[in-house]
Amino acid sequence: DYMGFSSAWGYWISAWLGNVGYFVLLFSTLGYFFPIFGEGNTPIAIGCASLLLWAVHFLVLRGIKEAAFINQVTTVAKVVP
């Protein structure tokens, strides 16, 4: 039981910190072009990051085809630069 708890807790913490880091970086980059986002830590940037995260969550809940499409878009976004 302890190992399962530690594994789940560690995964949850890493996913949480990874999402926070990713969205701060994303909105910090957007802040270069749109000053309202600042360095990615303004209330507007936090609200938009939360909306984006919930939108992805609900798209994944819709099914495997939508999740696969999100993964394809993400992969292209990583490879192109």
Sort residue 4 into left (φ over 0), alpha (ψ -120 to 50) or beta.
alpha
pLDDT digits (tens, 9 = 90+) for 24-49: 999 999 999 999 999 988 999 999 99
Q: What is the pTM of this model?
A: 0.72
**DSSP for residue 47:** H
pLDDT digits (tens, 9 = 90+) for 57-71: 888 888 888 888 888
Domain boundaries, the chain: 2-79
